[in-house]
Chains A and B, each alone.
Chain A
């Protein structure tokens, strides 16, 4: 990638030198497009990884090559040889603020994103100065024995803990894109919460030391030990701008006995992005796992957060919102696997389609033999804003046990003329009225979000709704 040497990127480079130990290592890696064993081996070498990780990557590459493209979901038109799989932070620096499209800048303005975060989010600045802003939070976490770092660092500094779970919850053979991520992953969060420790505030990637730019192939691993609690918030509601078109993350989570984990994602991708993500959590005895997943933007998103309830009393909840506009296909959903008796699952999915956008709910509820007295409920509601838009529901239910209770409700509705007229008759413009109806539709999920995210989510919906009428 070409490097602009204008003032803003030079400044940003200076800041990287201050925080990035990697700039001290001799550069032998030369970025090039394409995917083969040499590239994968080079990525591993660049990161000074142990042999087991290098072998894991190479084996994953073989699996990726041997797997066909999925024939369901959306149309995936990706040339795998035309992608940079790893760029050093300095090389990502190539863009300048001037290169960021006006539309993205305007959205930053409207969302009121602070200046420092804007450059980071737009990929102009590879690092967020977390130490300056969140230093005291980091100290507090360290005192409690919490590990919160990027996954690359964890490979070096916490190899035993990481290796016990890494690639075990989502093995490379799980699906083609999990295999791809396993071969070329970079960045992402590694979190360990020790027994009985509760973290009262939501953890965000910003808090991390060494927060690398939002990677294309992030790899996150969260281990919640017995009786511990954590809420992790991934990404943010600001539009994530990237010149690369493929993003494929893997998120693995283990919640041990009576632990609780909530993982919140609100993603708002640029319209050229394929966002193909595998997320899975294992919940043990009496543990609670919640996924809250908001998907806006992108060209195609395929994402189905899963909870495997492994032991009695485990609970899994998945709440998802998808918003598909022109040229966008949101194929999103959820997966609940009841692998033990007395497990409880809940899926609530809300999708909105407008201006020819397409949203699909794709979900699986599976009850394994012996998972007696398990209960699951699935509610998926779709709202279609105009005749050009589309919504589909693909609910799969596999039950291999008699003594269970599984409920499924689905609804598809259009914004009612009567509702619009009612609101307009009280002085709201058609756009305000539509936005209000859409906001009300997703309200049950938005109120689960941390306050500042709920506010941003509502503002985002307003932005998405602008220009949708008349």
Chain B
């Protein structure tokens, strides 16, 4: 049995408000899946819930990692760092700035922990030489300036720099399963192409990837096995690459008409959000 990330009947609430209303999705290692859907349909929420953000409360359902021997590991019981060590990665749509912390220092900790899941605090980090060599290679592949690693994590980064830093981390951490949350947003056409190529090179057969996007360009070099459409907190339709192309060109009108119940849920969620302008 192949390794996979299995999400079953996932319900997620934020401050008591239900956002995901029963999501089912299985991503096999080596597969690419695209997740599309209008703003506010719950795509980012799915990413946060998989990674274990404390604000996103799982009220029902399961997320499991099935290993090569077929043994299931309950992801919901893991802290976010344990999830990362188990091979799960989320590329943030808006990554946080950590002033005063150099990208290279942070990444050395991160890489050490993810590659040695049993490492205890205070134990040796990955040897500096080895780390630097690998970081330098990866940055060259991504056409990144070597000074970049000495900057403070996401502090004063442009939108494009943030996304490239996320891809660099993806390349260094080489997770089993990666969720890329709008890694193309805020990038110009050339940058999207570069990102698309980079992800394809990093991913290969070793990684299961869920690409959350509004566009099809990022999928150019990452042909999805399946494209899923989320509406009102559910995946309402799945199809091949032609579905992504259709949604990109024609929008979600056909989907809303075809799934009136989900469309109603979407409207309701939209109305609730307007009442709470501070909620993200």
Is B173 positioned at the interface, with any CB of A under 8 Å from its CB? yes
Contact B79 A436 (CB under 8 A): no
Q: Interface size on A (CB < 8 Å)?
A: 26
Is A437 positioned at the interface, with any CB of B under 8 Å from its CB? yes
Instruction: Tell which of A17-25, A339-347, A419-427 binds the partner.
Output: A419-427
Which of chain B's residues has its CB closest to A426's CB? B110
Which of chain B's residues has its CB closest to A429's CB? B81
Instruction: Tell which of B46-54, B139-147, B199-207, B232-240 binds the partner.
Output: B46-54
Q: Which residues of chain B (25-59) have a CB below 8 Å from chain A?
A: 51-55
Contact B98 A419 (CB under 8 A): yes
Is A430 positioned at the interface, with any CB of B under 8 Å from its CB? yes
Is B114 positioned at the interface, with any CB of A under 8 Å from its CB? yes
* Cα-based distance from A444 to B169 in the complex (angstroms): 25
Contact A425 B52 (CB under 8 A): yes
Is B17 positioned at the interface, with any CB of A under 8 Å from its CB? no
Q: Interface size on B (CB < 8 Å)?
A: 33
Q: How far, in Å, is A385 (CB) from chain B's closest CB? A: 15
Of the candidates B54, B89, B98, B110, the one having the most CB atoms from chain A within 10 angstroms of its own CB is B98
A428 in contact with B109 given A437-B101, A443-B100 (CB within 8 Å) = yes
Which of chain A's residues has its CB closest to B122's CB? A462
Contact B98 A422 (CB under 8 A): yes
Q: Which residues of chain B (81-122) have a CB below 8 Å from chain A?
A: 81, 83-85, 89-90, 92, 95-96, 98-101, 105-107, 109-110, 113-114, 121-122
* Cα-based distance from A423 to B81 in the complex (angstroms): 8
Contact A424 B101 (CB under 8 A): no
Q: How far, in Å, is A331 (CB) from chain B's closest CB? A: 25
Contacting residue for B84 out of A418, A424, A442, CB 8 A: A424
Q: How far, in Å, is B51 (CB) from chain A's closest CB? A: 5
Is B208 positioned at the interface, with any CB of A under 8 Å from its CB? no
Q: Chain A contacts of B53 at CB under 8 A?
A: 421, 425
Q: Chain B contacts of A462 at CB under 8 A?
A: 122
* Cα-based distance from A427 to B83 in the complex (angstroms): 8
Contact A427 B110 (CB under 8 A): yes
Contact A429 B121 (CB under 8 A): yes
* Cα-based distance from A162 to B84 in the complex (angstroms): 62
Contact A436 B106 (CB under 8 A): yes
Q: Chain A contacts of B83 at CB under 8 A?
A: 425
Contact A441 B84 (CB under 8 A): no
Is A432 positioned at the interface, with any CB of B under 8 Å from its CB? yes
Of the candidates A419, A425, A427, the one having the most CB atoms from chain B within 10 angstroms of its own CB is A427
Q: Mark A398-439, 1 if CB is under 8 A from B, else 0.
A: 000000000000000000111101111111111111001101
A442 in contact with B113 given A424-B79, A424-B81, A430-B81 (CB within 8 Å) = no
Q: How far, in Å, is B208 (CB) from chain A's closest CB? A: 17
Interface of A is mostly: helix
A440 in contact with B80 given A426-B110, A426-B173, A428-B110 (CB within 8 Å) = no
Contacting residue for B101 out of A421, A429, A440, CB 8 A: A440
Is B152 positioned at the interface, with any CB of A under 8 Å from its CB? yes
Q: Chain B contacts of A439 at CB under 8 A?
A: 100-101
A425 in contact with B90 given A432-B109, A436-B109 (CB within 8 Å) = yes
* Cα-based distance from A428 to B173 in the complex (angstroms): 12
Contacting residue for A425 out of B80, B109, B121, CB 8 A: B80
* Cα-based distance from A21 to B185 in the complex (angstroms): 75
A437 in contact with B98 given A421-B54, A430-B79, A430-B81 (CB within 8 Å) = yes
Contact B96 A426 (CB under 8 A): no
Q: How far, in Å, is B212 (CB) from chain A's closest CB? A: 15
Q: Chain B contacts of A419 at CB under 8 A?
A: 96, 98
Contact B98 A421 (CB under 8 A): no
Contacting residue for A422 out of B55, B95, B113, CB 8 A: B95
Q: How far, in Å, is B36 (CB) from chain A's closest CB? A: 23
Contact B81 A428 (CB under 8 A): yes
Q: How far, in Å, is B42 (CB) from chain A's closest CB? A: 18
Q: Mark B116-160, 1 if CB is under 8 A from A, else 0.
A: 000001100000000000000000000000000000110000000
Q: Chain A contacts of B95 at CB under 8 A?
A: 422
Contact B101 A436 (CB under 8 A): yes
Contact A440 B100 (CB under 8 A): yes
A440 in contact with B96 given A421-B80, A427-B84, A432-B109 (CB within 8 Å) = no
Q: Chain A contacts of B107 at CB under 8 A?
A: 426
Which of chain A's residues has its CB closest to B99's CB? A440
Which of chain B's residues has its CB closest to A436's CB? B101
Q: How far, in Å, is A438 (CB) from chain B's closest CB? A: 9
Q: How far, in Å, is B202 (CB) from chain A's closest CB? A: 16
Q: Chain A contacts of B173 at CB under 8 A?
A: 426-427
* Cα-based distance from A431 to B153 in the complex (angstroms): 18
Which of chain B's residues has its CB closest to A438's CB? B100
Q: How far, in Å, is A383 (CB) from chain B's closest CB? A: 11
Of the candidates A430, A433, A444, the one having the most CB atoms from chain B within 10 angstroms of its own CB is A433
Which of chain A's residues has its CB closest to B92's CB? A422
Q: Chain B contacts of A442 at CB under 8 A?
A: 100
* Cα-based distance from A7 to B212 in the complex (angstroms): 71
* Cα-based distance from A156 to B80 in the complex (angstroms): 65
- A-B interface, 6 closest residue pairs, ranked by CB to CB distance from nearest: A440-B100, A443-B100, A427-B84, A440-B101, A427-B113, A424-B80
Q: Report which A residues bind B (CB closer than 8 A).
A: 416-419, 421-433, 436-437, 439-444, 462
**A-B CB contact pairs (8 Å), 9 listed:** A425-B80, A425-B84, A426-B84, A426-B107, A427-B173, A429-B113, A430-B79, A432-B109, A440-B152
Given contacts A419-B96, A423-B98, A443-B99, 10 further A-B contacts (CB under 8 A): A422-B95, A425-B53, A425-B89, A426-B84, A432-B109, A436-B101, A437-B101, A439-B100, A440-B98, A443-B152
